[in-house]
């Protein structure tokens, strides 16, 4: 080597290295754009979700409350196929299957082609999500140890409602750094995966083998067609409605008849959709795969129609004035839910993240501090959609404990939202500074300004 040649520059340690890495990094540019698009849609969905829940609560506690419950309990469907269900049950079993279909698409997308396919990027949010499930469940179980009839609801405070949480962020006008927004969404996605597993294994009863085995036939055909003709379904939107939808509906009906909660069918159908673009369409680098195309097509239906309607039929509970509210909040089920969501979620998420970063000698991204992670952990205590579903599965639709559990869910979500707002609002000035620094970095690296606008 020539003596005038400068020595080679030592390689810069990668942020993706497990030990000594930076956690909650911004992720890839493409991932930031995709996450930003999802969060914008969830903001609208969250606003509709809150509006639907408020309308249901007002109606259920008004002089016209009888009409609300008559509407919720009105049955429609074909009884010989065991599908004569109330409108409330159709919302919980049918419309929420659309929501869980999107969850299945998102889960597969994240772990096959998203940033979570890298262990270094997935270990922290996955571990934090697990902590955010285990600690609330333990708190609920401790509170309800002396009440065996309510102990069955241990899974109610384990879920995070991303639409509601994002709606709160939109309302307070938070400039949450992109890395933390990605962390919040990833946390909710993994949280949903755990919730699905809990529903499938702990809240399914009287399993019927025949319809469950029969469900594999339309599911297999659905998966084969989606994989084989992914380019066709990607180009022709109507084809999915005319070909895949009937197969999906048949799969859903058979899973429903088997005794496994029908929303699990939505997840399985989401898992069956290919993520990677086919070689005939140019390969992975040529554009989004069918899962991302379907996610773009169907998320408005889920966020704008399915989830708000479910919230409307599930959140309507007759409180019974201050006396009834006091009775509901004194129920160990409601108390366990409130403590689980408001205390258990932030303790589990923040505690797990802190322990993991210390154990791996990792550090936070320079754009935020631990108080910001605490604010996001508080925000994760907003448990609504899946929590309402698990409450109904735990205690039975319309039962006294179910009503009390719903009061607990609503109260806990409101408290968590207010606490998160108090923390995150105080950090808005720091967030703006961090955004300006990100903008400077992106300009220096030649990344388009749209990164900041859309991420």
The model's pTM: 0.80
User: Could you tell me whether strands 85-86 and 75-76 are parallel, antiparallel, or unpaired per DSSP bridges?
Assistant: antiparallel
Q: What is the pLDDT of the chain when averaged over all its residues?
A: 82
HSE on the CB side for 248, CA within 13 Å? Answer: 24
> What does the H/E/C string look like for the chain?
CCCCCCCCCCCCCCCCCCCCCEECCCCCHHHHHHHHHHHHHHHHHHHHHHHHHHHHHHHHCCCCHHHHHHHHHCEECCHHHCCCEEHHHHHHHHHHHHHHHHHHHHHHHHHHCCHHHCHHHHHHHHHHHHHHHHHHHHHHHHHCCCCHHHHCCCCHHHCCCHHHHHHHHHHHCCCCCHHHHHHHHHHHHHHHHHHHHHHHHHCCCCCCHHHHHHHHHHHHHHHHHHHHCHHHHHHCHHHHHHHHHHHHHHHHHHHHHHCCCCHHHHHHHHHCCCCCCCHHHCCHHHCCCHHHHHHHHHHHHHHHHHHHHHHHHHHCCCCCHHHHHHHHHHCHHHHHHHHHHHHHHHHHHHHHHHHHHHHHCCEECCCCCHHHHHHHHHHCCCCCHHHHHHHHHHHCCCCHHHHHHHHHHHHHHHHHHHHHHHHHHCCHHHHHHHHHHHHHHHHHHCCCCHHHHHC
Out of 132-146, 198-212, 296-310, 396-410, pick the least confident: 198-212
Q: Residues 6 or more apart from 218 whose CB is under 8 A from it?
A: 247, 248, 250, 251, 254
State the Cα–Cα distance between residues 176 and 167, nearest whole angstrom: 13
State the Cα–Cα distance between residues 223 and 229, nearest whole angstrom: 10
Question: Residue 39: its pLDDT value, please?
Answer: 62
Averaged pLDDT for residues 252-268? 90
Residue 33 Cα distances to 188, 450, 452, 453, angstroms:
18, 9, 9, 9
State the Cα–Cα distance between residues 192 and 329, nearest whole angstrom: 26
Top pLDDT among 330 and 114 is at 330
CA quadruple 84, 87, 93, 94: dihedral sign: positive
- Cβ burial of 237 (10 Å; 0-12, 13-18, 19+) is exposed
- Phi-psi sector, 278: left (phi>0), alpha (psi -120 to 50), beta: beta
Question: Residue 13: its pLDDT value, please?
Answer: 40
Residue 69 CB coordination number (10 Å): 16
HSE on the CB side for 15, CA within 13 Å? Answer: 15
Question: Residue 281: its pLDDT value, please?
Answer: 57
Using DSSP's 3-state secondary structure scheme, residue 11 falls into coil
The answer on pLDDT for 252 being more than 60 is yes
State the Cα–Cα distance between residues 443 and 449, nearest whole angstrom: 7
C-beta of residue 3 within 8 angstroms of C-beta of residue 156: no
Question: Residue 1: its pLDDT value, please?
Answer: 45
State the Cα–Cα distance between residues 446 and 455, nearest whole angstrom: 16
Q: Which of 353, 412, 422, 420 is nearest to 387 (CA)?
A: 412
The model's pLDDT over 201-234, given as tens digits with 9 standing for 90+, comes to 888 777 888 999 999 999 999 999 999 999 899 8
Top pLDDT among 203 and 5 is at 203
Out of 77-91, 358-372, 380-394, pick the least confident: 358-372
| Confidence tier at 444 by pLDDT (50, 70, 90) | low
End-to-end, the C-alpha distance of the chain in Å comes to 45
The answer on pLDDT for 455 being more than 50 is no
State the Cα–Cα distance between residues 216 and 222, nearest whole angstrom: 10
User: Chain-centre distance of CA 58, in angstroms?
Assistant: 26
The answer on pLDDT for 350 being more than 90 is yes
- Cβ burial of 172 (10 Å; 0-12, 13-18, 19+) is middle
Question: Residue 443: its pLDDT value, please?
Answer: 57
Question: Residue 33: its pLDDT value, please?
Answer: 60
Question: Residue 278: its pLDDT value, please?
Answer: 62
């Amino acid at each position: 080597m020539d003596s005038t040649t400068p020595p080679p520059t030592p390689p810069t340690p990668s942020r993706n290295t497990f030990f000594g890495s930076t956690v909650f990094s911004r992720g890839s540019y493409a991932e930031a754009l995709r996450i930003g698009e999802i969060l914008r849609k969830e903001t609208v969905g969250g606003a509709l979700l809150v509006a639907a829940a408020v309308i249901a609560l007002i109606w259920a506690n008004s002089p016209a409350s009888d009409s609300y419950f008559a509407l919720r309990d009105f049955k429609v469907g074909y009884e010989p196929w065991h599908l004569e269900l109330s409108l409330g049950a159709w919302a919980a079993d049918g419309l929420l299957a659309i929501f869980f279909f999107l969850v299945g698409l998102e889960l597969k997308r994240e772990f096959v082609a998203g940033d979570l396919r890298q262990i270094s990027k997935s270990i922290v949010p996955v571990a934090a999500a697990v902590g955010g499930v285990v600690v609330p469940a333990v708190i609920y179980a401790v509170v309800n140890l002396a009440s065996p009839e309510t102990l069955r609801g241990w899974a109610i405070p384990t879920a995070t409602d991303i639409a509601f949480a994002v709606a709160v962020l939109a309302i307070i006008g938070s400039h949450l750094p992109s890395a933390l927004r990605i962390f919040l969404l990833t946390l909710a996605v993994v949280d949903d995966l755990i919730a699905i597993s809990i529903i499938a294994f702990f809240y399914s009863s009287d399993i019927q083998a025949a319809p469950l085995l029969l469900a594999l036939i339309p599911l297999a055909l659905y998966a084969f067609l989606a994989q084989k003709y992914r380019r066709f379904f990607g180009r022709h939107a109507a084809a999915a409605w005319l070909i895949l939808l009937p197969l999906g509906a048949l799969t859903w009906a058979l899973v429903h008849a088997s005794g496994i909660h029908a929303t699990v069918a939505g997840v399985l159908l989401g898992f069956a959709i290919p993520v990677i673009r086919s070689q005939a369409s140019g390969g992975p680098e040529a554009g989004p795969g069918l899962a991302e195309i379907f996610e773009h097509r169907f998320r408005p239906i889920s966020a704008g129609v399915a989830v708000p309607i479910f919230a409307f039929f599930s959140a309507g509970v007759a409180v019974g004035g201050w006396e009834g509210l006091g009775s509901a909040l004194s129920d160990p089920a409601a108390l366990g839910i409130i403590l689980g969501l408001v205390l258990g979620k932030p303790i589990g998420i923040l505690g797990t993240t802190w322990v993991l970063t210390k154990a791996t000698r990792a550090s936070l991204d320079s754009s935020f501090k631990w108080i910001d992670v605490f604010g996001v952990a508080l925000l994760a205590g907003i448990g609504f959609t899946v929590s309402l579903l698990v409450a109904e599965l735990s205690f039975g639709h319309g039962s006294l404990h179910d009503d009390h559990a719903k009061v607990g869910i609503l109260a806990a979500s409101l408290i968590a939202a207010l606490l998160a707002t108090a923390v995150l609002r105080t950090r808005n000035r720091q967030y703006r500074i961090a955004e300006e620094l990100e903008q400077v970095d992106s300009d220096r690296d030649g990344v388009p300004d749209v990164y900041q606008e859309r991420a």
